[in-house]
Amino acid sequence: MRIIRFDYSGRSGFGFLTDDGIMPVAWEPFYETPIESFLIPLSEVNILAPVEPTKIVAVGLNYMDHAEELGMPIPEEPVLFLKAPNTLIGDGDIVIYPQQSERVDYEAELAVVIGKHAKSVPEKDATSYVLGYSCGMDITARDLQAVDGQWTRSKNFDTFCPLGPWVETEADPSDLWIELRLNGEVRQSSRTSNMIFNVPKLISFISSVMTLYPGDVILTGTPSGVGQVHKGDVIEMTIEDIGTLRVSVG
């Protein structure tokens, strides 16, 4: 099942994506308007980022091929950082190139969307806390990351976390093909089985540090092939069994 969030006729809402269109299930704010029983053509909506998280927890250096590419040792525990909700944009939106930076990079990532309150979750139970999976990009001002020596500014400019186009509830994240194309040219191509820490391990580890709430997002790291973008570029990423997320840079 694909859960999609959208704007339609001045209202935003959540729905299920079908072959014939979107079946709306809840308008925002949820208490105001009962849902009508009808289908909305996909061509008539503006697709939004599929969730509104309290936080986006990202994982650094979590693919074997990326660690090898950088010549860095394999981490013994997941390396965590945060991206704020202001970074979110949806499919078809524009990544804004910040004036402060001269080097902005793409990173394609499997995004895990949490479905229920999660605190100190055992690894064996972790997937039961997942609503589904989406495509995510960790856009980074690489030059500012180097200057600052920590990652808050470089990772948190507005529009620096494209997410979508929907949440796929039925994917198995253990071995999915993931690819990123820049202006149609393949730049990243790997499989989620190359992760150093898999999805259950990440959920268990992160929830032992901080409580995860419904709608929160975990970005699970990026494979090798990270590179630079420029204004006018089109970034497109695909994850097997989930979908394709496409944004431009402006």
**Alpha carbon of 107 to those of 99, 104, 125, 161: distances in Å?**
20, 10, 29, 10
Residues 78 and 175 in one domain: yes
Question: d(Cα 92, Cα 166) in Å, to the nearest integer?
Answer: 12
SS3 call for 49: coil
Residues 98 and 197 in one domain: yes
93-112 pLDDT per residue, tens: 999 999 999 999 999 999 99
127-184 pLDDT per residue, tens: 999 999 999 999 999 999 999 999 999 999 999 999 999 999 999 999 999 999 999 9
Domain that holds residue 9: 2-47
pTM exceeds 0.85, yes or no: yes
Residues 126 and 78 in one domain: yes
Cβ atoms of 217 and 113 within 8 Å: the answer is: yes
Residue 121 has pLDDT above 90, yes or no: yes
13-60 pLDDT per residue, tens: 999 999 999 999 988 877 666 677 789 999 999 999 999 999 999 999
Residues 38 and 64 in one domain: no
Q: The domain that contains 230 carries what CATH number?
A: 3.90.850.10
Count structural domains, the chain. 2
Secondary element (H or E) of residue 65: helix 64-70
Mean pLDDT value across residues 54-67: 93
Residues 23 and 99 in one domain: no
